[in-house]
Structure 1
Amino acid sequence: MDIADIATSDYIEVDATERLAKVRSIFERKNPRGIIVTNDGAYEGVIGRRQLLQSHVQDDAKAESLVVSAPQVERTDDVREVARVLVEGGTKIAPVFEADQLWGIVTTNSILEAVLEHLDALTVGDIYTENVVTVSEDTHIGQAINLLREHGISRVPVLDEDGLLSGMVTTHDIVDVVVRDMDKTTRGERAGGNDRILDIPVYDVMSSPVATTDTAESVRSAVSRMLDNDYNGLVVTPEGDDSQVVGILTKTDVLRALTYTEEEHMDVQITNITLLDTISREDVRVDIEGVVDKYSDMQVRHAHVRFHEHKEKLRGTPLIQCQIRLRTTEGQIAGSGEGYGAEQSFNVALDKLERNVLELKDVRSDEEYRGQLLRKLGEL
């Protein structure tokens, strides 16, 4: 399926110097799928509807203050390749070009709507992300903000004192309460007011109840609910028990599944690939394969490497977090680490991944040995 079958010309173009007040009014009056931002006629980036609605940037600011750089795709590109581009670019909207001319846009939702009928073959258990970050009800907003920044995520499930799913807190929830409080205070009071906000427990701002799915639900059914209710993700719980958190399913997880291949070499997907500096995609693939080969019984179905840039820098080189997640025949295995520059952070994460792979190998070996002993005892 070519992206020409999915892309739409339902977009509006604005100049980077346009006031955000006008951009907001365009979304309210015309409800386009997205807005393309240009600078003197040249493509600059995009502004998505959700991004704008959840932003509290003042109306007098320029459109360029909210522009997100989005990778360009061609009308003739295959839908799998476009899904990869969206995931690796960390964006939910991309401009579509034809003969170097802007033709339209494509969004995460439009791709999912187009492939929905083909998602019955997958269950949530096939593609969801395990080992998600969670917080407790008494976690302070300040602590939650640090976790969101550290892991480069926009939402975390909230657990009660018994470790059961209680709610969900998102960056939007936090921004809402901060802006509301700032609107109520005077300029001189804001510093102290903000400190008080950071000490508020997430229980006071979280959303509840939480939309959930289980590992047995078909991806088609789960995605349908996300599209119908404008959810970006669902908390994954065990079948028949929606109080335990085992993972999360996001639209990005589904897009990532569309890119799975049966190539001779391991398929490696890299989010925020533009952060790669002194290493290449091929270097990343070869190094991960070198770690995986230490456990010959394990087959990798898909590898995902995510880079997230922090503001901190050392002699001009940004602090970067790297997360490596493998979906294998032995389950999901991950490793993460931080370093200055993509290469250093990747190597730290790779070392952690290797330790986890070898630990899993030892555990499996112990289980096999225990099984052999039990069989022998049974024969006595």
Structure 2
Amino acid sequence: MDVTDIVDREFDTYDETTAVSKLRGAFDDSSRKALVITRDGRFEGLVTRRDVLSSHEKTSRKARSLVRPVPTIGPDEDIREVARLMIAGDTNVLPVLDGDELVGLVRADDLLRRVQASLAILEAGDVITTDVVSIEPDESLGRALSTFRTERIRHLPVVSSEDGADVVGIVSLSDVLEFVTRELQRSQGGNADAQSRTAASSGGSHGGFGAREGESADLLALPVRNVMVEALGTTRAEESLDEVLETMFEFGGSSAIVLDEDGSLAGIVTKTDMLESLTWSEERQLPIQVFGTDLMAETTRDGLAERIEDVTRKYRDMRLLEAKVHFQEHTERLRGTPLVLARVRLYTDRGLFIASGEGYGDRHAFSLALNAVERQILEGKTDGRTKKSATDSELAKMYGWVLSD
């Protein structure tokens, strides 16, 4: 099954020199989640709604400062590969190139609609995340943002403070970003550039978009109930995945709350979980490709897959999608055993990890390469997760609501 019939060939593009203020306007006027950025007429990358909302860039800055590279696909790409690339690239939109020419876009919602009937073979319980982090309605938006950051998640079920079980709403990272951005713009009268020019001409600052730290911190002190969505899409673990998807479309959400028989919180299912299910093999084993199998004297494909899964299983916030292992022989030998180069590539929802190792024999080389990959994962985990709780002021700076130089 390929994406030929779901490629959207009508789309707008924005040159890399487009002002960020114009990009914000494009998002305000539509339900789009990503904009296509070009350079000299050629595809350059995407700017997402979240990129713009969480940016510290002034509105006079150009699109090139926010553009992110994403994987590209061909007009007849296989749907499973598209799902894998969306997860690995952390994007719900993929550009379609025919040669060097941008000919269309494929969106996650359209892809899921295309395969919705096939999802009926799975249940919500097959993809559910049960280790759910939740928040109470009276906790602050700053606490929510801190949780999004440290837990590397984008949705927080809001549970009753009385017993911690009754789900009363849900809040997403986008909900918080849009709320704070909207309120800050409203309090400042809207046009950042105009205010900056007025301040400059009068020889001083009148607050403007460059002095909003206090206001943003005040907004982050507001309770989550101010932003949470109360109209929930809920499901049960035994409900088929196609029905869960229909619930998401009905409520306009990207996740569904899974409830126990007594109505308490059991877990959460997201559209990303559904995309990931499309990448499973029939046996639901790790998809692993091995190149240079003639050099595997001490290892087997199943053995390699098991060791890779043992490593990645340690990191519950990371999903492993696919692995590739390359073996290459050198002429050097030690007591008859060749020097082997092993290269390991792990495609995950946190990005692509690549490392190499050289050793005498395939087992030694693979072990060194896998150890190097794990060090990369650990470094990424350390950079992305910190035990230090950010203050509301620090969060305001982190998410770009102090638009100063």
For this structure pair, what is the TM-score category when the shorter chain's length is used for normalisation? 0.5 to 0.7
Task: Give the 3 Å change call, closer, same or farther, for CA 263–235 of structure 1 in structure 2.
Answer: closer
Superposed counterparts of 1:164-243, under 5 Å: 164=165, 165-179=167-181, 180-181=183-184, 183-184=186-187, 187=207, 190-238=212-260, 240-242=261-263
1:262 aligns with 2:282: yes
CA contact (8 A) 2:89 2:349 kept: no
* Aligned AA (1:166): V
Residue 114 of structure 1 is matched in structure 2 by 114
Q: Report the alpha carbon displacement of residue 52 of structure 1 after superposing the two structures with TM.
A: 8.0
Query: 5+ residue gaps in structure 1?
Result: 269-281, 294-301, 310-338, 348-380
Contact 1:11 1:32 in 2 (8 A): no
Secondary structure in 2 aligned to 1:187? coil
Instruction: Answer whether contact 2:42 2:101 (CA < 8 A) is retained.
Output: no
Structure 1 length-normalised TM = 0.66
Matches within 5 A, 1:24-103: 35-48=35-48, 51=50, 60-103=60-103
Q: Would the aligned equivalents of 1:20 and 1:60 in 2 still touch at CA under 8 Å?
A: yes
Contact 2:254–2:271 (8 Å) recurs in 1: yes
Q: Go from structure 1 to structure 2 and tell me whether the alpha carbon gap of 1:184 and 1:204 turns closer, same or farther (over 3 Å shift).
A: same
Q: Give 2:392's aligned residue.
A: none
RMSD: 3.8
Partner of 2:269, secondary structure, is: strand
Rounded to whole Å, the distance in 1 between the matches of 2:83 and 2:59 is 33
Deviation track 1:127-156 (CA, whole Å, cap 9, x = no partner) reads: 222212111233222222111111222221
TM value normalised by structure 2: 0.62
Question: Are the aligned partners of 1:9 and 1:103 in contact in 2 as well (CA < 8 Å)?
Answer: yes
* Structure-2 separation of matches of 1:26 and 1:68: 17
- Name the CA distance, whole Å, in 2 between partners of 1:26 and 1:175: 17
Q: What is the count of residue pairs matched by the alignment?
A: 295
Answer with 1 or 2: which has the greater Rg: 2
Q: Which has the higher helix share?
A: 1
Q: Is contact 1:267–1:303 with CA below 8 Å preserved after alignment?
A: no
Residue 252 to residue 283, structure 1, CA distance change in 2 (3 Å): farther
Amino acid at match of 1:307: R
Secondary structure at the aligned position of 2:153 is classed as coil
**Cα offset for 1:233?**
0.8
Is 2:134 aligned against 1:134?
yes
Stretches of structure 2 that go unaligned for 5 or more consecutive residues are 189-205, 289-301, 314-318, 322-347, 353-373, 383-405
For residues 318-372 of structure 1, give each alpha carbon's deviation from its aligned partner in whole angstroms, at most 9, with x where no partner exists: xxxxxxxxxxxxxxxxxxxxx984255579xxxxxxxxxxxxxxxxxxxxxxxxx
Which protein, 1 or 2, shows the higher relative CO under an 8 Å CA cutoff with sep ≥ 6? 2
Between the aligned residues of both structures, percent identity stands at 30
Instruction: Give the residue type in structure 2 aligned to 1:38.
Output: T
In 2, distance between residues paired with 1:124 and 1:228?
A: 17
d(CA) in 2 for partners of 1:103, 1:37: 13
2: CA distance between counterparts of 1:173 and 1:303? 28
* Higher alpha-carbon deviation: 203-212 or 159-168: 203-212
**In 2 relative to 1, CA 27–284 (structure 1 residues): closer, same or farther, beyond 3 Å?**
farther
Task: Write the distance in 2 (CA, Å) between the matches of 1:184 and 1:18.
Answer: 25
